[in-house]
Structure 1
């Protein structure tokens, strides 16, 4: 069993994944029949949630201008501080939903998560997450299963590259199946307080029994899922045998041989030529427009051992390579006649956060060419447009000054 009919909603700004998760839970618990009667439900819900956050913080007056311009490209929206129960407070005050929020050193045991989802109850986790480099990221766990010997958790991930001019237009996030053991290891290796929110009930029915969150027996990595790229490719294809993952038929799948390197960086790290987090991606074609990505981490080869690859998860793609093969690459303002090659990738991917800027990166000599896969014309970023480093530097400093200032102070 799993949590059925759970909403899939995209976060409006790149630091308010938590607000999108609250909105999804609220819509799930209330249902549309009585949701329209909730005060303030006619406005963008994530703005209404932010308003309550600023009220709790005592900073509403100072942030009224940001709330007014909420549907415009902007920066400076808050991520949640640890050890304060915002989910619990906001759900109760805005939506009349009781919830239980707690903090712990790592994610709950797989058995514990599975008990919740098998009972039709979602779990919101705030944790270290693959591909997100700005602290913790919030997702909603809606299903747990073991496939091909791998413990998989299905998450509704509100993070998605922004492709709309009207950023308040409703759109979906991404669905992902993550390897539980890889996620557990990530949160063990990069210690942070994990936020766990459960037991969502309307106030009128709070006398119902609450399901305890038993975290006894947190499971270590009993299966590393490591090996070569081909081993991981074959394992993932086995996931689709029962057609439950992404509801895609095995015969419709085409897994590419090419491995794409994807880098994840903060805006500040990018400007300072700092180190990026890296994942390897295998593209899985599931239709003419639909695509998935197998996420793989790599332990580089040494003099004594070969490279080791670990399966991280599989998700709906953050970018589509449809219609980008004809990109006209420019270096130094001059056309090169070069074309995109998806089968033997002549590019890497770059995801800049916050800001949700995504690029294909090509190199010629000492110069990089950044071809945008995002479309944010209000700040000067256009889909398939090539940019130099200096051009991106000017855009970032102009469009995201508050993020740059914040990151500089907290280094």
Structure 2
């Protein structure tokens, strides 16, 4: 058994994944009918949640402008610090939901998480997350299972590329299956408190017995999910034999032989030309309009050892080969006749955070052409349009100055 009928909601802004997770839990417990009478000016619910956050912080009056212009692209929205039990407090005050939140040095044990999801109870985790820069990311765990010897967490991930001009219409986020051991290692190696929130109950039934949260004891790895790309590819294909994971027929799958390099950077790191966090993506096509991405980390080769690849997880993708089969490439202000090659990728991917900006990056000599996979016309970013580095630099400094100043100051 797992958590069933759990809503999948996208975060409205790039730093309020926590608010989207609170909204998902609230809708899960209350049902849509409880929210039908909310005035349109109070939608989406993430705005109400943010208002309560500012009230808790005592900064409501100072941030009224942020709430008023909530539907506009902007920056400066808060991420949660591990100082207060914000989830617990906001759920109680805004939605009348009792919850227990705590902080610990690593993610809970797999056994502990599975006990909750098998009882139909979701768990919000705020943790170090693959592909997310600057602090922790919040997701909701809704299922735990073992397939092909791999411990998998099914998470509802509110982070997704904005493909709408009206971002107050919160579309779906992503569903991902992540390797538990990889997440455990990631959070153990990078010191940062993990936020764990569970035991969600409406206040009227809050006195019912709830499951205790076990200590997050470390568990030995069942397998070392490392080796060559082909080993990981074969292992993941085995996941599709289990219909409870992905309801896709094997004969409908097309798995790419080559990987796409995907870089993740903060805005300031991109402007300063600093190294980026890197993941390899192996595209799985499940139809003309559906695709998945296998996430792989790479331990580079040395003089004494060859490169080793480790399975990180598999997630839904918003972009198929069909979506980006034809794009404009512009080097030095002039168009080129180059075409996208998905079979032997002639591009890399770039994800800039905060801001949810995603690009295909093509290189000619030292010059780069950035083709947008995001559609944010209000800030001058258009889907499948090409940009030079200087054009992106101008947009970032104009639209996201607070982020860039903050990141520079903290260094």
- TM-score relative to the length of structure 2: 0.98
Report the equivalent of 2:285.
Answer: 285
**Which deviations, in whole Å up to 9, do the C-alpha atoms of 1:26-56 show, x marking residues without a partner?**
0001112333357999521000000000000
Residue 191 of structure 1 is matched in structure 2 by 191
SS where residue 108 of structure 1 aligns?
Answer: coil
Distance 1:269 1:348 in 2: 17
Are residue 64 (structure 1) and residue 64 (structure 2) matched? yes
Looking at structure 2, the residues matched to 386 and 231 of structure 1 have their Cα atoms a distance apart, in angstroms, of 36
User: 2:173 maps to what in 1?
Assistant: 173
Q: Give the RMSD, CA atoms, in angstroms.
A: 1.3
- On the 8 A contact 1:284/1:294 being kept in 2, the answer is yes
Aligned pair in 2 of structure 1 residues 39, 109: CA closer, same or farther (>3 Å)? farther
Worse overlay, 77-86 or 55-64: 77-86
1:380 matched to 2:380: yes
Contact 1:181 1:224 in 2 (8 A): no
The aligned residue for residue 353 of structure 2 is 353
Separation of aligned partners in 1, 2:40 and 2:332: 50
Other-structure match for 2:141: 141
Q: 1:71-110 counterparts in 2 under 5 A?
A: 71-110=71-110
What does residue 111 of structure 1 align with? Answer: 111
1 CA distance for matches of 2:227 and 2:22? 38
Aligned to 1:316: 316
Q: Which residue of 2 aligns with 1:29?
A: 29
Structure 1 alignment gaps of length 5 or more: none
- Secondary structure of the structure 2 residue equivalent to 1:286: strand
Q: Name the count of aligned residue pairs.
A: 411
Indicate whether 1:410 and 2:405 are aligned.
Answer: no
Match of 1:328 in 2: 328
1:235 is paired with a residue of what secondary structure?
Answer: helix
Segments of structure 2 that go 5 or more residues without pairing to the other structure are: none
Task: Give the conservation status (yes or no) of the 8 Å contact 1:36–1:42.
Answer: no
Question: What is residue 276 of structure 1 aligned with on the other side?
Answer: 276
Secondary structure at 1:340 match in 2:
coil
Answer yes or no: is the 8 Å Cα contact 1:279–1:296 preserved in 2. Answer: yes
In 1: Cα distance, 2:180 partner to 2:323 partner: 34
Tell me whether 218-227 or 116-125 shows the greater mean CA deviation: 218-227
Q: Secondary structure of the equivalent of 2:31?
A: helix
CA contact (8 A) 1:285 1:292 kept: yes
CA contact (8 A) 1:156 1:175 kept: yes
**Structure 2 contact 106–216 (Cα < 8 Å) conserved:** no
**CA displacement at 1:258 relative to structure 2:** 1.5
| DSSP-derived class of the 1:258 partner | coil
Residues 56 and 401 of structure 1: is their aligned pair in 2 closer, same or farther, counting only changes over 3 Å? same
Return the TM-score normalized by structure 1: 0.98
* Residue of structure 1 in register with 2:365 after alignment: 365
> Are 2:102 and 2:195, in contact at CA under 8 Å, matched by a contact in 1?
yes
Please state how far the C-alpha of 1:223 moved relative to its aligned partner.
Answer: 2.0
Q: Contact 1:40–1:48 (CA<8 Å) still a contact in 2?
A: no
Find the aligned partners of 2:365 and 2:264 in 1 and give their Cα distance. 22
Which shifted more, 282-291 or 238-247? 238-247
Instruction: Give, in whole Å, the separation in 2 of the partners of 1:79 and 1:116.
Output: 26
Q: Distance in 2 between matches of 1:40 and 1:24?
A: 18
Q: Is the 8 A contact 1:133 1:265 kept in 2?
A: yes
1:199 to 1:73, Cα distance in 2 relative to 1, 3 A: same
- Aligned mates of 1:377, 1:261 — CA distance in 2: 26
Q: CA deviation at 1:324?
A: 1.9
